[in-house]
Amino acid sequence: MKRLPIYTLAAALCAGTLMAIPPQPPEGYRWVINEQFSDNFDGDKLDSSKWMDHYNGGWKGRAPAWFNPDAVSVEGGLLRIRSGTLDKPKGRKGEFTMYGGAVSSKTRGAHFGYYECRAKASRIGMSTTFWLSNQKEPFTEKGDCKTDTYSQELDIQEAVGGNAAFPKFESSMNSNTHFRYVKCGAKKEEFISEGLSVELDSPVYADYHVYGAWWKNENEAAFYANDKHTETVAFRTDVSDRPFDRPMQINMVVETYDWQPPPTAEELENAEINTALYDWVRSYELVPIGEEAKMTPEFKVFEETVEFSTEAEIDRLSIAYSYKANEDCFLDLTLEAVDGDVLRHRKISAYQGFGHDTYLEMIKPELVESITIKLISKSSGRVLATANTDS
């Protein structure tokens, strides 16, 4: 009689199009899309219920580039942030002679979760970025001062697609974490930072890349390049024991840096290279696997899949499974004997999202010849994906 393998990988019925692949959630949880901070940019204008066409917080840009709301557009399924020259200087001292743009979330409710975007950088000496931030608030953790303040900044990607002063900004995912602190009685802000840089398989301007970060808790975040884990960063605790404790806003910004030579007028006016492109941005929250979804996403987030592995003990079989579903489903689990008789048939709730859990069946493993799990839509009864021990 065939004994079940210790590990069995499932096969999905559907394959294909480029979709989001967040990291596997912890056992007993699932990733659910947070629509307030997610967008496929499929319309013909920026969704004003989610986004601002400027920086939420009043920042106008770093000279010489001003954040121009007219540089922001949505077309062809893409968020576009264009750079260009100004007809005449702007600012109190005429410090702005060119422009980029900024898109920020309307609210600052993005907290622990997974945040990712798919983007292609412009090919000029300006940034293409994806990051989270908040505003200064009193720092009360130590309780010994009433005038010190802090804010947080989680930089998932900072790229420069052309003529980069530091070549890694053309070819890498450059991430950073900043606890931004103003000490008691001080005016100058102190950056308490920890970051990383990971080489990509092609330049940031040549192809679309997926940049992601799993903000796990107050003390660490894991970073992902093209759906692969690169490094987990522990936030520095020089000042605060819980440096990243507050919700933030999401930003997609094209700016000039003070360490990077600005682009030339010819580059800024070249429509072939002067625009940063964002295909989508997605945000996810971790929720218990058995908690019903509050709403169904407006757009398809996942390719529906199901997979599992098994671990056999003397009188029980552990089936560790994961699934991806864009709607509420159930898992149809069947255990068969060598003669084809059904030994067990179970239905397990599989609410919308990317779930991971373990099912324990009290049975002698040697009696089981095969296992099949189907992901089935609750509303239509349609089989969305199938996995079995023969896959």
**Catalytic site positions:** 153, 158
Cis check: omega of the bond before 64, within 30 degrees of 0: yes
The residues, ordered by sequence, that sit 6+ positions from 368 with a Cβ below 8 Å of its Cβ are 4, 317, 335, 336, 337, 343
**Contact of 173 with 137, CB cutoff 8 Å:** no
Residue-wise DSSP of 322-390 = EEEESS-EEEEEEEE-TTS-EEEEEEEEE-SEEEEEEEEE-S-GGG--EEEEEEEETTT--EEEEEETT
Burial 124-161 (b: 16+ CB within 10 A, else e): bbbbbbbbbbbeeeebeeeeeeeebbbbbbbbbbbbbb
Q: Dihedrals φ, ψ of 175, to 5°?
A: -120, 155
β-bridge partners, 110:
248
What gap in Å lies between CA 141 and CA 182, rounded to an integer?
14
Tell me if 184 sits within 8 A of 209, measured CB to CB: no
Strand 113-120, strand 275-288: pairing: antiparallel
Q: Could you give the angle at the alpha carbon of 191 between the alpha carbons of 185 and 192, nearest 5°? A: 105
In sequence order, what are the residues at sequence separation of 6 or more whose Cβ sits closer than 8 angstroms to the Cβ of residue 19?
300, 301, 302, 303
The H or E element that residue 171 is part of is: helix 168-171
- Judged by DSSP in three states, 41 sits in coil
Instruction: Give the CA-trace dihedral at 339, 342, 344, 346, to 10 degrees.
Output: 140
Rounded distance, CA 61 to CA 308, Å? Answer: 49
Residue identified by tokens 């001003």 is: 66
H or E segment to which residue 132 belongs? strand 127-133
C-alpha span between 180 and 80 (Å, rounded): 29
